[in-house]
Amino acid sequence: MTETHTPQAGDDHAADTDVVALLMRQHGDIRNLFDEVEQSTGDARKAAFRRLVRLLAVHETAEEEVVHPFARRNLPGGEQVVKDRLREEREAKETLAALDDMDTDDPKFLPRLIALRADVQEHARAEERYEFTHIRRSTDAARLASMAKGVKAAEAMAPTRPHPGVQSGAANMALGPVAALMDRTKDAVRKAMGHDG
């Protein structure tokens, strides 16, 4: 590893080698996409919602593959912390799947989306507080970077912004059912981290 400097807020290059910075950025991207879906209508809402579904799916999959196993093994009380986060993620996925079956212009869509948003945000805050802070404290730059590799491989499945240097056909891939996307993401993360499932 050549990158060992301390990441700074807004330092996007640093974010690429620090799993916590990377995941915090994704939490921000998710918040912005919820805004976009809420504030748009018709085709624009449909497109924003597709991007939100995709990002949420790959983000949660990356956390399940990279962050939670680490937290379970290395943090005090990690077992219970991860159990709580996994329950929240399962509930969010169920709501997401239900929303995914709905027309985005259905009058019931927005209230359900707003309820999902509240749950997702509470979940993200719990991760930041009970996992992310401790992950930074209990590991070194090399380990943070190796975990970041896994998260970046997941993110490449759901590009929300241009990633210079990352060549991927994923950007143009049609969105399959959420579960299929999660399976593909899991494979990509495992490959990037050097264990092929």
Interacting residues with Fe ion (CB under 5 A): 60, 63, 124, 127
| 174-181, Cβ contacts within 8 angstroms, sequence gap of 24 or more | 175/50, 175/53, 175/54, 178/53, 178/57, 178/93, 178/96, 178/97, 178/100, 181/54, 181/57, 181/58, 181/157
For residues 40 and 121, which CB has a smaller minimum distance to Fe ion in the complex?
Answer: 121
Q: Nearest to Fe ion by Cβ — which residue?
A: 63
CB of 107 to Fe ion, least distance (A): 29
For residues 65 and 127, which CB has a smaller minimum distance to Fe ion in the complex?
Answer: 127
How far does CA 70 lie from the centroid of its chain? 16
Task: List C-alpha distances in Å: 27 to 37, 121, 124, 166.
Answer: 16, 8, 7, 21
CB of 56 to Fe ion, least distance (A): 9
Q: Which tokens hold the place of 82?
A: 């991860």
For residues 7 and 45, which CB has a smaller minimum distance to Fe ion in the complex?
Answer: 7
Residue 176, classed as helix, strand or coil, is coil
For residues 55 and 188, which CB has a smaller minimum distance to Fe ion in the complex?
Answer: 55
CB of 67 to Fe ion, least distance (A): 8
CB of 71 to Fe ion, least distance (A): 11
